Amino acid sequence: MTDLRVMSYNVHMQRDDLAALAAVVRGAAPDVVIVQEAPRHFRWRAKCAELARAFGLVVVEAGPPALGNLLLASLRVRAHETWSIRLPFTPGRHMRGAAFAVCSIGPSRFAVAGTHLSIDPAERPDQAARVSKALAEIDVPVVVGADVNETCDDPAWQALADGLVDAAEHTGHGDHLTFSCADPRRRIDGIFVDPRITVNRYQVIDTPESRRASDHFPLVVDLALPGTA
């Protein structure tokens, strides 16, 4: 088995305390960070690279098709294949996407994916179903980080989690809220893990720094990967 630490983090388009944001990520020492609300417009390449440097990581997948989803990794992780998809949206609404990467650490091969679903409840189920379909086509164990914009009892969350393990529920932390940092009321962010991967630990990082860094709390999971490479 190979250990893997994954963080999922909506960084609020870097509108908040950037020093605190970098400190939160560096302090967690993740192997992979799945970012929502990353740079997606003018100079996105340079801005994503700057964010990666601030976190002490490298860019794995980013860009216009990912639509604000960004995958970062430490040098411990080797990326083999990366891609992004655009999700259905209603004209006039915010465009959404998802980012994917097939990676390995030593003998263990795995995939990571990130998405940020619509604030419109009419759009979310179809978007979640499209991401779920793309995940089903990947032949290695997957880890998904998402800002679902709804809670675990709602249809898009359930569609995205279908066939996967909700890391918070699995570890008995389903009551740990993720949004908003100023007034935590809901768990709308999740990490979903392939059943072939062992979830050893789940944490919502709620500290003075994380409350300054974004409007969402970051999630961290410690996983044990099967040797699949």
Local confidence band at 229 (pLDDT 50, 70, 90 cut-offs): very low
What are the residue ranges spanned by the domains of the chain? 2-225
- What is the pTM assigned to this prediction? 0.96
Could you check whether the bond before residue 180 is cis, i.e. omega within 30 degrees of 0? Answer: yes
DSSP one-letter code for 18:
H
DSSP one-letter code for 14:
G
For residue 203, which of 184, 217, 186, 216 has the smallest C-alpha distance?
217
Q: What is the pLDDT of residues 44-75, one digit of tens each?
A: 899 999 999 999 999 999 988 889 999 999 99
Q: Is 126 helix (H, G, I), strand (E, B) or coil?
A: helix
Q: Kindly indicate whether the domain formed by 2-225 is annotated with CATH number 3.60.10.10.
A: yes
Render 56-97 in DSSP notation, one character per residue: T-EEEE-SGGGTT-EEEE-TT-EEEEEEEEE----TTSPP-E
